[in-house]
Amino acid sequence: MSTILNPELADFSDFINAIDDPDHREKFITVLNWVKSTFPNLTPRFAWNQPMFTDHGTFIVGFSVAKPHFNVALEFLTLEHFREMITTQGDHTTKMFWQIKFTQPVNYDLLERTIQYNLTTKADITSFWRQKEK
């Protein structure tokens, strides 16, 4: 089976094609397609060597790949807000990432909640990243 990348995500093709394991590539494509279909107003952008999605010029979510997992980048404030839910469901977090093993199912409900949280809490933010709290 070969999952086809949404044409609106074509800028991510080189990144995706560099994923050696075909099963990992399939899962990653599925996740990116899901983000685009669930949040069609998000703008795909390839920056900092990772596929990401923005809204009104501000970062919403990004993705990167490691051998056993892929990372979901949400910004620290959002990750902190959802960290317990992420780890309770069996995924791992680092200081900056939610790590989802390629061998585990993706919790799309939780992923949707994290993305929606960023959309809601960043609705009035005009910078790419949130300002660091002092």
- Are 37 and 4 contacting, i.e. CB atoms less than 8 angstroms apart? no
User: Quick check: pTM over 0.75?
Assistant: yes
Task: Return the pLDDT at 134.
Answer: 45
Q: Report residue 128's pLDDT band, with 50, 70 and 90 as the boundaries.
A: confident
Average pLDDT value over all residues in the chain: 94
Classify residue 114 by its DSSP letter. H
- Are 73 and 35 contacting, i.e. CB atoms less than 8 angstroms apart? no
Q: Looking at the predicted structure, is the pLDDT value of residue 113 above 60?
A: yes
Tokens of 4: 């086809």
The residues with which 58 forms a beta bridge, in sequence order, are: 55
Q: Which domains does the chain have, with CATH numbers?
A: 7-121 (3.90.1150.200)
Q: Looking at the predicted structure, is the pLDDT value of residue 109 above 60?
A: yes
Residue 92 and residue 124: Cα distance in Å, rounded?
A: 30
